[in-house]
Amino acid sequence: MSENSANSGAKRRVALVTGGSGGIGRAVVQRLAHDGYAIGVHYSGNRERAQEIVHQVTANGGEAISVQADISDDAAMAEAFDDVESAFGNVDVVVNTAGIMLLSTVQELDFSDFDRMMKTNVRGTFVVSQLAAQRVAQGGALINFSTSQTRLQHPTYAAYAASKAAVESLTLVLARELRGRDITVNTVAPGPTATELFLDGKEQQLVDRLASLSPLERLGTPEDIAEVVAFLAGPARWINGQVVFPNGAIA
């Protein structure tokens, strides 16, 4: 169900950002709102953070609503799309940042964690991708999210990387299935990015080591990733069916 519905009369491009209440999703919302998009800020559980970013966008003269759904629930996500279309008239861009990361070695992985990641990262991405294929307007874009861990092979990331490898395959196929629709479908696969989730529980020595892996000698920022998303959402009409790795040459 939508909250804080904005004026739907303005003719702007419209974006639905899943996981838009925090981390990379939040930076994407801020960047697309700055670029003039009306935004559907999707969240799963943290209503307060979603409302905070909606208020920030509207206070700066933009248009935004919040929509709540479990991305693996096709009926709930269809309602979220309905709410965005009701508020703004259509959906031009879907940015699917929502996902979870639970780390363990293969030998010790709890299969309940494996199932949770597959439900959110694989089924959830498929649900959002299917709805985007059905709803996104001509000239629009779908941008899914993977990870550079699909190339790095770091220990403890096997199940997470496997879930994101599925996202990459889905994206490449869907881009070709949408022939004739003028809709681009790409995946963004960030390297280590300084979000609260990434930094939580990590000692500074480990953070510094990860930052040193890039020749640029720093972690990425959510704003770095949002810059790539903004490019794929709008001007990059000839980039289609690709996995883009914004990771500072870490891989």
**Residues annotated as part of the active site:** 160
Note the pLDDT of residue 52.
Answer: 96
Query: Where does residue 125 rank: exposed (0-12), middle (13-18), buried (19+ CB within 10 A)?
Result: buried
pLDDT beyond 80 at 124: yes
Per-residue tokens: 217: 């000698």
**Class for domain 12-191+221-244, per CATH?**
alpha beta
220 bridge partner residues: 193
pLDDT beyond 80 at 34: yes
Name the helix (H) or strand (E) containing 17: strand 14-18
Alpha-carbon distances of 246 from 154, 214, 251, rounded to whole Å: 18, 11, 9
Note the pLDDT of residue 11.
Answer: 65
Return the beta strands (E) in 88-222 as ranges: 93-96, 141-145, 184-188
pTM attached to this predicted model: 0.93
Domain extents for the chain? 12-191+221-244
